[in-house]
Amino acid sequence: MSAGHDVRLLDVFKGQPKAVWITAFAAVIAFMGIGLVDPILLSIAEALNAGPEQVTLLFSSYLGVQVLAMLITGAFSARFGAKRTVVTGLVLIVVATLACAMASSIGELVALRAVWGLGNAFFIATALSVIVGAASGGQGAAIMLYEAALGIGLSTGPLLGALLGNISWRGPFAGTAVLMAIALILSAGFLPKDGNRTDRAKVRLLDPIRALRHGGLLRTSLGAAFYTAAFFIVLAWSPFVLEFGAIAVGLVFFGWGLCVALAGVFLAPRLAARLGEVGGTIFAVLIFAVLLGVMTFGSKPVVVVAVILSGLASGLLNTLFTGTAMSISNAPRPVASAGYNFLRWLGGAAAATLVGHVAQWFGSQHAPFAAGAILCVIAAGLLFAELRTQANTRSVPAEAVLVGEEF
């Protein structure tokens, strides 16, 4: 989005082709799945006799498989086409969510969330490249539309989880299966057919890892990984700190998700225009660190306010990180997206796995928030290093830039 942070809001929504709207709708439902289980974590723990460290595995199994699968999405898409990749991902999600609604143990639920994560991996990375490739208004408008879908999904997921979870913890999974089936039918019926394989760029299995040899993409992706770890600390651990019922948790994260959507669409372009993409990201990630610090020492009402406000920082960071990653290197968009998303979601998987243990190690429910604040400061340091690298690059001859493009 580096060249597109001056995109007008009208460009995001005006005249977009049918394929973009269908993919964006499916993306909203897919991102619902991230926060869907938030309001029902305590209900699942009680119903299936599971502890917090087991229940948070619902995030880590989902994200862990998604992370590994991100490495093959580019090659799969190049071999079989974007439409087949999207449809494959949606089929896996429909099957997994339906099976989750019928699970009888925490082990089954964790395993099925892993299948869900596999489907999400095929869908998410490909959906971004589909929207960027098909959207009118250029890459900046496409990324804003994608991040708007992310924000809407993140905000409505907890609300849907709360409303259906108030009936039964199985309800949110069944509801998601129905919505994803609708997205699957629309995608299968209306997305453009894949062209001949000879018309598609060849992508090898390890190309996403090779793309990370580019210094700028690597620093951006590592910064996103540390930020995403902090993001999932808020998402996965806040319900255990707040100890609210499903509806109350759902409303808190509905407000949080609205902040994510609004900041990603309205505030991120303005911040990038004022401070530059990397400078704006540094500012936002430090704000997130401050809010995590407030959560570390605040009472429950203060934590509620800080969680909701953290959505503003997350909305900024989701858009700015994605825009930078998609434009900072010369790698093809699907390859850059896969490599970036591999590291980005790896941070989330690690945080979701360790967050409960961090609380145990330090003997404090608020300790994970402090760890998240430290991770955000580390992310800011990586981004500051990238800012200095860009400044040094602008001050050296062009031939020197070509020599130092990768490390």
Give the residue carrying structure tokens 């089929």.
Answer: 91
Q: How confident is the model at residue 2 (pLDDT cuts 50, 70, 90)?
A: very low
Higher pLDDT, 276 or 135: 276
In a domain, 3, yes or no: no
- Picking from 90, 73, 94, 122, the residue whose alpha carbon sits closest to that of residue 187 is 90
In a domain, 47, yes or no: yes
CA–CA distance, 147 with 311 (Å, rounded to integer): 13
As a whole number, the mean pLDDT across the chain is: 82
pLDDT confidence of residue 135 = 66
> Given a cut of 70, is residue 357 above it in pLDDT?
yes
pLDDT confidence of residue 1 = 44
In a domain, 1, yes or no: no
DSSP 307-344: HHHHHHHHHHHHHHHHHHHHHSSSS-HHHHHHHHHHHH
The identity of residue 177, as a single letter, is A
Q: How confident is the model at residue 156 (pLDDT cuts 50, 70, 90)?
A: confident
Per-residue pLDDT tens digits for 72-115: 877 787 778 888 888 999 999 999 999 999 998 999 999 999 99
Give the best-scoring range by mean pLDDT among 13-27, 45-59, 163-177, 296-310: 296-310
In a domain, 199, yes or no: yes
CA–CA distance, 189 with 405 (Å, rounded to integer): 43
The single-letter DSSP state of residue 197 is G
Give the best-scoring range by mean pLDDT among 14-23, 73-82, 136-145, 335-344: 335-344
CA–CA distance, 303 with 337 (Å, rounded to integer): 33
In a domain, 302, yes or no: yes
- Picking from 66, 193, 212, the residue whose alpha carbon sits closest to that of residue 125 is 66
Q: CB–CB of 6/142 below 8 Å?
A: no
DSSP 24-74: HHHHHHHHHHHHTTGGGHHHHHHHTT--HHHHTHHHHHHHHHHHHHHHHHH
The CATH number of the domain where 172 resides is what? Answer: 1.20.1250.20
In a domain, 188, yes or no: yes
If 0-12 CB within 10 Å is exposed, 13-18 middle and 19+ buried, where does residue 52 land? buried
In a domain, 4, yes or no: no
- Picking from 375, 389, 260, the residue whose alpha carbon sits closest to that of residue 322 is 260
Answering whether pTM is above 0.85, one says no
Q: CB–CB of 353/62 below 8 Å?
A: no
pLDDT confidence of residue 404 = 39
pLDDT confidence of residue 402 = 37
User: Cα–Cα distances in Å, from 56 out to 85, 132, 348, 367?
Assistant: 28, 33, 12, 16
* Number of domains into which the chain is organized: 1
Which structural domain range is residue 344 located in?
9-403
Q: CB–CB of 337/325 below 8 Å?
A: yes
If 0-12 CB within 10 Å is exposed, 13-18 middle and 19+ buried, where does residue 166 land? middle
> Given a cut of 70, is residue 5 above it in pLDDT?
no
CA–CA distance, 347 with 317 (Å, rounded to integer): 14
CA–CA distance, 210 with 345 (Å, rounded to integer): 18
CA–CA distance, 16 with 144 (Å, rounded to integer): 13
